[in-house]
Amino acid sequence: MANSDVASVTHRFLPILDWIPGYRRDWLLPDVLAGLALWAVMVPEGMAYAGIVGVPPIMGLYTIVPALLAYALLGTSRQLVVGPDTATGLISAVTVGAIATQGTAEYNSLTSTLAVLIGFFFLSFGILRMGWVASFIPTPVMRGFIEGLVYVTIIGQVPHLLGISGASGNFFTKLWHILQHLPDASAAPVVTGILSLAAMLLLRHIAPAVPAALVVMATATIVIGLLGGEATGVHVAGHLPSGLPHFTVPTLEISTLSELVPGALAIVLVGYAEALGAAKAAALQSGGKIDPNQELIAHGPANMLSGLFGGFLVVGSLSKTSVATAAGARSQVANLIAAVFCFFTLIFLTPLFRNMPQPALAAIVIAAMLHLTKPSYLRELFARSRWSFANCVIVILGELTLGVLQGIALGVVLSLLTLVYLASHPRGAELGQLPGTEAYRDVRHHPEAATFPGLLIWRTGGDLFFASIEHMSSALKASLAARPDVKRVLLDCSSVNFIDVSAGDELLGLIKELEKMGMSVAFVRVRDAVRDDMKRAGIEAIVRADNFYERTTDGVRAWQQQGGIA
The residues pairing with 522 across neighbouring beta strands, listed in sequence order, are 490
CB atoms within 10 A of CB 413: 12
Burial class of 487 by CB neighbour count within 10 A (0 to 12, 13 to 18, 19+): middle
* Spatial distance between the Cα atoms of 67 and 85, rounded to a whole number of angstroms: 12
- The values of phi and psi at residue 310, to 5°, are 85, 15
* Cα distance between residue 473 and residue 503, in whole Å: 10
Question: For residues 394 and 144, is the Cβ–Cβ distance under 8 A?
Answer: yes
pLDDT tens for the chain, residues 1 to 566: 554 545 555 656 677 777 777 788 888 898 898 899 889 889 988 998 998 899 999 999 999 999 999 999 999 888 889 999 887 898 999 999 999 999 899 999 999 999 999 999 999 999 988 877 766 678 888 888 888 888 888 898 899 899 888 787 889 999 999 999 999 888 999 999 999 999 999 998 898 878 888 889 999 999 999 998 888 888 888 878 888 888 888 888 899 999 999 999 989 988 888 888 778 767 766 667 788 889 999 999 999 999 999 999 999 887 788 778 877 888 899 999 999 999 999 998 888 888 889 899 889 888 888 877 888 888 999 999 888 898 899 989 998 998 877 887 888 888 888 888 888 999 999 999 999 999 999 999 999 999 999 999 999 999 999 999 999 999 999 999 999 999 999 999 999 999 999 999 999 999 999 999 999 999 999 999 999 999 999 999 999 999 999 999 999 999 988 865 43
Q: Give the span between the Cα atoms of 119 and 304, in whole angstroms.
A: 5
The answer to whether the beta carbons of residues 458 and 430 sit under 8 Å apart is: yes
b (16+ CB within 10 A) / e for 7-29? eeeeeeeebbeeeeeeeeeebee
Residues 368/373/376/381 CA torsion (nearest 10 deg): 150
pLDDT at 448: 94
Strand-by-strand arrangement of the 440-442 sheet: 440-442, 429-433, 455-459, 488-492, 520-524, 548-549
Strand, helix or coil for residue 50: helix
Q: What is the CA radius of gyration of the chain?
A: 30
pLDDT score recorded for residue 12: 63
Question: Would you give the distance in Å from CA 544 to the centre of its chain?
Answer: 49
Domain boundaries, the chain: 27-373, 429-561
* Contact criterion met (CB below 8 Å) for 450 and 435: yes
Distance CA 489, CA 182 (A): 72
Q: Name the strand (E) or helix (H) holding 316.
A: strand 315-317
Task: Please tell me the predicted confidence (pLDDT) of residue 566.
Answer: 34
Check: CB of residue 46 under 8 Å from CB of residue 84: yes
Handedness of CA 9, 14, 18, 20 (dihedral sign): negative
Q: Is 563 helix (H, G, I), strand (E, B) or coil?
A: coil
SS (H, E, C) 472-510: HHHHHHHHHHCCCCCCEEEEECCCCCCECHHHHHHHHHH
| CA separation for the pair 160, 153 (Å, rounded) | 12
d(CA 65, CA 342) in angstroms, rounded, equals 6
How far is CA 516 from each of CA 26, 106, 512, 520, 548, rounded to the nearest angstrom? 79, 74, 6, 9, 20
Q: What is the pTM of this model?
A: 0.77
Q: Strand pairing partners for 464?
A: 499
Beta-strand relationship, 455-459 and 520-524: unpaired
DSSP string for residues in 127-193: HTT-GGGGGGS-HHHHHHHHHHHHHHHHHHHHHHHHT-----SSHHHHHHHHHHHGGG--HHHHHHH
Residue 36 buriedness (CB in 10 A; 0-12 / 13-18 / 19+): middle
- Measured CA distances, 1 to 4, 5, 7, 17, 129 (Å): 8, 6, 10, 20, 22
The domain 429-561 is placed in CATH, from the list 1.25.40.80, 3.40.50.970, 3.40.50.2000, 3.30.750.24, at 3.30.750.24
Cα distance between residue 214 and residue 545, in whole Å: 74
Q: Measuring CA to CA, which residue among 411, 373, 369, 416 is closest to residue 392? A: 411
pLDDT at 211: 83
What pLDDT sits at residue 433? Answer: 94
Helices assigned H by DSSP within 402-456: 404-424
Contacts of 412 (CB under 8 A, 6+ apart): 136, 137, 141, 269
Report d(CA 115, CA 388) in Å as an integer: 33
Residue 441: enclosing H or E segment and its boundaries? strand 440-442
